Amino acid sequence: VQLVESGGALVQPGGSLRLSCVASGFTFSNYAMTWVRQAPGKGLEWVANIKQDGGDKDHVDSVKGRFTISRDNARNSVFLQMNSLRVEDTAVYYCAREGFSYDWNFDVWGRGTLVLVSS
Amino acid sequence: EIVMTQSPVTLAVTPGEPASISCRSSQSLLHSDGNNYLDWFRQKPGQSPQLLIYLRSNRASGVPDRFSGSGSGTDFSLKISRVEAEDVGVYYCMQALQSPPTFGQGTKVEIK
């Protein structure tokens, strides 16, 4: 069971970035997926999640209207489209699987990808 | 949103000794289904977080039985019965009762 994130980069304020997370070792389409971020030296903040069929999504208020989570079950992938990036969006972004037991049961995590927003 | 508060911020423990971390929520995490929607994670230095305890007291797969979770409502604790060197890291509690799921600020466990 593995999650591998990619797409992190240095981007200017106001710019855009698309993060990807590829899953392996389990039936991806059976699981909801989540993004969690961690600013440098700080704690964890949930960002967004998406249900198994992609029809139901949720985002934390601080990113609503700027970030969009999506998934492609044929490619075992979940994405985070980030627009209008701000300095405060600088963080390591983790992809996590939501287990069956209940919503937000983060039972598997990727290694993360770093997004640096700076001029 | 539900605010999670952990204490202490830092905990220095002698190997072989017990350790305890407290977590308090701004509202009850007890659901009508009888579960307390409180999870614990550990983040070892340079690594991603790892699920330790889910629904207050259930150990995740592969977690040693020296880790235990307890509490109910708004007050919870994570106990390590005998700390080992590999237990260093930052421990986070998280509420999974309502959106958005929110984390405590973390407790850093160090070895004396």
- Mind listing the pLDDT tens digit for each residue in A58-81? 999 999 999 999 999 999 999 999
Q: How would DSSP label each residue in B5-54?
A: EEE-SEEEE-TTS-EEEEEEESS--B-TTS-B-EEEEEE-TTS--EEEEE
The per-residue pLDDT of chain A, averaged, comes to 97
- The reply to whether residue A46 touches residue B103, judged by beta carbons under 8 angstroms, is yes
Interface test with A, best of B48, B97, B105 (most A CBs within 10 A): B48
pLDDT digit string (tens) for chain B, length 112 residues: 999 999 999 999 999 999 999 999 999 999 999 999 999 999 999 999 999 999 999 999 999 999 999 999 999 999 999 999 999 999 999 999 999 999 999 999 999 9
Residue A100 has pLDDT above 90, yes or no: no
Residues of B in contact with A105 (CB under 8 A): 39, 51, 54, 96
Nearest residue on chain A to B9, alpha-carbon basis: A43
Asked if A57 has any chain B CB less than 8 Å from its own CB, the reply is no
* Neighbour-count burial of B62, counting CB atoms closer than 10 A to its CB (0-12 exposed, 13-18 middle, 19+ buried): exposed
* pLDDT at residue B110 in the model: 97
* pLDDT at residue A101 in the model: 83
Reported as a pLDDT band with limits 50, 70 and 90, residue A103 is confident
A12-51: per-residue pLDDT in tens? 999 999 999 999 999 999 999 999 999 999 999 999 999 9
* pLDDT at residue B37 in the model: 97
* pLDDT at residue A70 in the model: 98
* b/e burial code for range A43-80 (CB count within 10 A of at least 16 → b): bbbbbbbbebebeeebbbeebeeebbbebeeeebbbbb
Question: Position of tokens 């971020």?
Answer: A37
Interface test with B, best of A35, A93, A105, A114 (most B CBs within 10 A): A105
* pLDDT at residue A102 in the model: 86
